[in-house]
Amino acid sequence: MKNTPHINQLAEIAETILLPGDPKRAKMIGEKFLEKTECFNEVRGTLGFTGLYKGKKISVMGTGMGIPSMGIYSYELINIFGVKNLIRIGTTGAMQKNINVRDIILAAGASTNSAYSSQFKLNGSFAPIADFTLLETAANVCRNKNLPFHVGNVLTSDNFYTEDENQTSSWSTMGIIGVEMETAGLYTNAARYGAKALSILTVSDHMILKDAEITTAEEREKSFTDMIETALETAVKL
């Protein structure tokens, strides 16, 4: 029996998993996009499902918000359940003027203001990056679907609210293309424990252009669908 307090110890989880932050989005994906779907986890309200997409076994599970939560679930998925490919799907705030709301961002790397990697006692700064095969595959899926997408470095922040009003512009000048709260933790764990990881993100708002377009709920649902389908099409090609 697998030993973990956070995921059902009897869970049957595929080698490839999609990781939205919101457990309800995991439920929606399991019910709408997968066939022969079974719920494998309800512990702590973190819903997880395994099913088939175009005949391939794929799982999806919520991770909650922030590096600590992502760190727990990605560690257990890799080390206890043998997951090989972890694809985060979530939202991001755009950090460059040429990026529009509803665009997709593929996180090639993840800068961070978190001290998460300090536990590994490295004599320097670790640069968490995506797996190139996953990144290249997802980019080709976006091209084939004619989806607007951007590849680059994102900021994984520990802060949703910040007292530093200059933080956004400082990171933007370094070429950061989006800000979110989980990717650096996912990439660091994947590197340390021998898995492959990628974050596919939908731009939900803009951090630079204060008068940027505001999307409706229906438009955001369509954007999320593009992101989800990109992740699933990437998964079936592995």
Give the residue from 175, 66, 63 showing the smallest Cα distance to 115: 66
Q: Are 58 and 51 in contact (CB under 8 A)?
A: yes
Beta bridge partners of 17: 59, 86
Determine the straight-line distance between the first and last CA of the chain, rounded to whole angstroms.
Answer: 28
Tokens at 214, concatenated:
């505001």
Q: Can 205 be counted among the known catalytic residues?
A: yes
Which one from 22, 158, 205, 211 is the annotated catalytic residue? 205
Q: Are 177 and 94 in contact (CB under 8 A)?
A: yes
| Strand residue runs (E) in 62-213 | 85-94, 104-112, 149-156, 178-180, 196-206
Indicate which residues carry an active-site annotation. Answer: 205
